[in-house]
Amino acid sequence: IDELKERHRGKRAPKVLAIGQAGEGLVRFAAICHDKHDYAGRCGMGAVMGSKKLKAIVCRGNRKPEPADAEALRELKKRVQGRIKESVPAQSLREMGTDSTMDLGMMTGDVPIKNWTRGEALEISAEIGGPAMTEKFLVRPAACYGCPIACRRVMKNDREPFRMETGPGPEYETAASFGAMCENADAASLLVINEWCNRYGMDTISCGSAVAFAMECAEKGLIGGELLEGLELEWGNAGAILELVHRIGTRQGLGDILAEGTRRAARKIGGGAERLTCEIKGLDLPMHDPRAYHGMGLAYMMSNRGACHNAHLVHPIEQGIATWTDLGFSENYDGQTSGGKAAMVKKAEDFGQPLSALCMCVFDMWCFGSSDPVDALQAVCGWDFTLDEYLQAGARIWLLKRSLNCLMGLGPGEDRLPEKVLTPVSEGGAAGSVPDQQLLLREYYAERGLDERGRPRREVLEAAGLHDMAERLHPANG
């Protein structure tokens, strides 16, 4: 990346998107790296680039973008900066990064532990949560372009065996997937594991999930000596976790099997290993437990790219981190209730989908009012958009993605929670709680207008203006 930046340097430094060894080796959860510190992490986009033998993309602009209404944009900037300054979640993100949510999440049962089999591990969060990581390793916060929150971490560790030069520190999802999920309380190891995932270019959620899955397979005797090749794959063994990350990134032995993702790896391992996976539509669940937040379980089931916590705004709304009462959201949802969650999830999807289309960060949205993104759209693009039209655009995006999935053969059988999160844990904030999958789906299908085959109904597509898709999905002569 440094070399490409230097080679293509003009008046301004270029930006570089690149894949690493994992993308070249078609690891199914390979990521795309942006300028050595940000990642398009999920769904294996790095493997897509790798399959096309596309190593990197370099972009350099030479003109300053002009907003349609500079004065309106200045006003908006002032307003949202004020909101961010007063926002408690923003302060906590700045001080401790996204890992600031670990300690509270551990108390509510939100953090998955030991491959989704335990409900609480306060001794682990005390070591790898935001306050501990900040105290031990923080060099300084860092920000994406122009963001006043600065939730990103720059960290270093001077001590062996997990010494790390100054560089990007782990996010919450990484700390949870390689920490709590693997019963690994060695905080320093997370810096180095994160760094190697970055260097290979791998999604840390799916990679950590694959390692935790392999640990449980080893514990249950489903993988043994020949595949382990001397690896002591026991819970909490930080050195073994790092070694397995290397084997996945370079596709060696067991790593080659896990590089296919947990769904395919389980089929290959056999012996009922599928029951130890935790994925929806092939994408491993992020580090928020649906047993603690049933609405999140529904959002995972209905997310079009597989289990995703960012394709909607269910996370801040259901957990009470942020809300938008003017849109009809409550300020106080009971996480461990399934009835009535469908309406909230659908609206949180419609409200959240345009953020990806606009390349806006969900954490910034935690601090914004409901109309701020619409005002931004008007000021930057000059489009006369209302909040209602914005929500309609969100619904249209969701319906279009769902329809494409249906055209490619997806059916209601894929809208399912894995057995792992339908099995109650016996301790912690979510003890005894499991989402009522049937109720959640029944209410959601009615709310969203899906038929018994999981397809958006013709009239729903027509009402959204998706006439061509309505014809394809429900052909008149079909």
How many chain residues touch ligand SF4 (CB under 6 A)? 10
Rounded to a whole number of angstroms, the minimum distance from the CB of residue 208 to ligand SF4 is 19
Identity of the residue, 37 or 401, whose beta carbon is nearer to ligand SF4 in the bound complex: 37
Using the minimum distance from each CB to ligand SF4, give the nearer residue, 316 or 418: 316
* Least distance (Å) between residue 149 CB and ligand SF4: 4
| Closest by CA position to 24, among listed 41, 46, 56 | 46
The smaller minimum CB distance to ligand SF4, of residues 319 and 338, is found at: 319
Instruction: Check binding of 358 to ligand SF4 (CB under 6 A).
Output: no
Closer CB to ligand SF4, 228 or 361, in the complex: 361
Q: How far is the CB of 173 from ligand SF4 (least distance, A)?
A: 12
Pairing of strands 283-284, 56-59: unpaired
Site for ligand SF4 in 121-150 (CB under 6 A): 143-144, 147, 149-150
- Residue 125 CA to residue 432 CA, distance in Å, equals 21
Least Å from the CB of residue 236 to ligand SF4: 30
Q: Which of 200, 300, 363, 385 binds ligand SF4 (CB under 6 A)?
A: 363
Residue 151 binds to ligand SF4 (criterion: CB under 6 A): yes
Q: Note the residue count of the chain.
A: 478
Residues 71-100 close enough to bind ligand SF4 by CB under 6 A: none
Work out how close the CB of 142 gets to ligand SF4 at its nearest, in angstroms, rounded to a whole number: 7
Cβ closest to ligand SF4, residue 50 vs residue 105 = 105
Candidates 205, 151, 145; CA nearest to 176 is: 205
Angle at 468 between CA 463 and CA 470, to 5 degrees: 55
Interface with ligand SF4 by CB under 6 A: which range of 199-207, 256-264, 289-297, 356-364?
356-364
269 touches ligand SF4 (CB under 6 A): no
**Interior CA angle at 289 toward 283 and 291, to 5°?**
120
Shortest Cβ distance from residue 426 to ligand SF4 (Å)?
36
Q: How far is the CB of 373 from ligand SF4 (least distance, A)?
A: 14
Q: Considering beta carbons, is residue 213 or 363 the nearer one to ligand SF4?
A: 363
Which of 143/381 has CB closer to ligand SF4? 143
Cα torsion through 469, 473, 477, 478, rounded to 10? 170
Cβ(324)–Cβ(367) under 8 Å? no
CB of 20 to ligand SF4, least distance (A): 21
Contact window for ligand SF4 (CB under 6 A) among 19-27, 39-47, 73-81, 361-369: 361-369
Closest to ligand SF4 by CB, 120 vs 364, is 364
Give Cα 16 distance to the centre of its chain.
22
- The one-letter amino acid code at 207 reads C
Q: CA-based angle 222:176:113, to the nearest 5?
A: 50
d(CA 39, CA 25): 17
3-state secondary structure of 283: strand
Contacts of 46 (CB under 8 A, 6+ apart): 19, 20, 22, 23, 27, 30, 31, 32, 33, 40, 201, 202
**Contact criterion met (CB below 8 Å) for 50 and 89:** no
Residues 435-474 interacting with ligand SF4 (rule: CB under 6 A): none
Q: What is the dihedral of CA 269, 19, 287, 222, to 10 degrees?
A: 10
Does residue 361 belong to the site contacting ligand SF4 (CB under 6 A)?
yes
Residue 215 C-beta: closest distance to ligand SF4, Å: 30
Query: CA-to-CA distance for 220 and 210, rounded, in angstroms?
Result: 15
Under rule CB under 6 A, residue 152 binds ligand SF4: yes
CB of 423 to ligand SF4, least distance (A): 33
> Within 13 Å and on the Cβ side, how many CA atoms surround 215?
31
Residues 301-340 that bind ligand SF4 (CB under 6 A): none
Residues at the interface with ligand SF4 (CB under 6 A): 143-144, 147, 149-152, 361, 363-364
